[in-house]
Amino acid sequence: MALDEARLAHSTGDVPCGAVVVHEGMVIARAHNQREALGDPTAHAELLAVRLAAEKLGTWRLSGCTVYITKEPCVMCAGAMMNARVTRVVYGAPDPKYGAAWSVFNILQDGRLNHRSEVSSGVMAGECLELLREFFETRRPD
């Protein structure tokens, strides 16, 4: 489902990143990057999905939720998930330039913070990376 969301972002000219929030085994939110469509630098897939999940649950605390993402979250998105008390984050492709779940920073498991999320990485990484490569090759041909 997150890959389907990423494909939607790609089709609208945005970086192909998708996110799905699951609570008690049920999908409660899904979203894709919409920075270009909304003209909003904070319209990342994870932030949009977390907002929708909080609205659905009627609380800002997303304890018991897992967020599935096609690309490693950035600092902003990792921070939002920490503030929302997301229990688990699962992502596909690493982000060696902006990743905040392991590649550059490790916000989601930083012992200095009062909450830590379980993190799983590399899930369907090949498919996620291929979609990202395809997107950036069309914008940066060399």
pLDDT digits (tens, 9 = 90+) for 44-55: 999 999 999 999
pLDDT one-digit tens code per residue, 82-124: 999 999 999 999 999 999 999 999 999 999 999 999 999 999 9
Annotated catalytic residue 46: yes
Q: Which of 5, 46, 55, 134 is catalytic?
A: 46
CB atoms within 10 A of CB 42: 13
In the predicted structure, residue 6 carries a pLDDT above the cut 70: yes
Question: Computed from CA positions of residues 55, 56, 61, 67, in that sequence, does the dihedral angle turn out positive or negative?
Answer: negative
